[in-house]
């Protein structure tokens, strides 16, 4: 029983984020930090028009730079933020949030995560 739990836990850590229709994630780099147990991960996220990343959170901070398009961010308990190319947003550790391309064209962001190592990067929120 314990062995089955450990195997399931390891698979959960190694599993990539679930595919979301209209969203393409391109992993750019991943590096250990000088802070024990933390790593930095950079990902380019491309959104088709109208595509939405459902509510989720991360085991650390997320720093977003919008490369192109118009993306609406909803962070729990905060006003809606509509960002355009060149805008940035900081998403605190464990903050439930979602993002939607509200423009008529494709949108892209550069997401930089400073997160706990060996944990799933994306945790769905129900």
CA angle 118, 120, 121 (to 5 degrees): 105
Domain carrying residue 43:
2-124
pLDDT digits (tens, 9 = 90+) for 22-55: 999 999 999 999 999 999 999 999 999 999 999 9
Q: How many domains does the chain have?
A: 1
- Given a contact cutoff of 8 angstroms between Cβ atoms, the answer to whether 91 and 43 are in contact is no
Task: Give the 3-state secondary structure of residue 8.
Answer: helix
Joined tokens for residue 100: 């939607």
Pairing status of strand 60-68 against strand 107-116: antiparallel
In the predicted model, residues of the chain with pLDDT beneath 70 are 1-18
Global confidence as pTM: 0.83
The CATH number for 12's domain is 2.60.120.10
């Amino acid at each position: 029983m314990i062995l089955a739990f450990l195997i399931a836990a390891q698979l959960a850590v190694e599993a990539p984020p679930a595919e979301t229709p209209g969203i393409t994630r391109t992993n750019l780099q991943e590096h250990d930090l000088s802070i024990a147990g933390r790593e930095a991960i950079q990902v380019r996220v491309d959104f088709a028009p109208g595509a939405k990343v459902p509510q989720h959170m991360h085991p650390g901070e997320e720093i977003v730079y919008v490369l192109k398009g118009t993306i609406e961010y909803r962070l729990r308990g905060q006003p809606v933020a509509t960002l355009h190319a060149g805008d940035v947003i900081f998403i605190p550790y464990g903050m439930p949030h979602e993002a939607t391309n509200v423009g008529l064209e494709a949108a892209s962001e550069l997401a930089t995560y400073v997160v706990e190592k060996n944990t799933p990067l994306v945790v769905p929120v129900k």
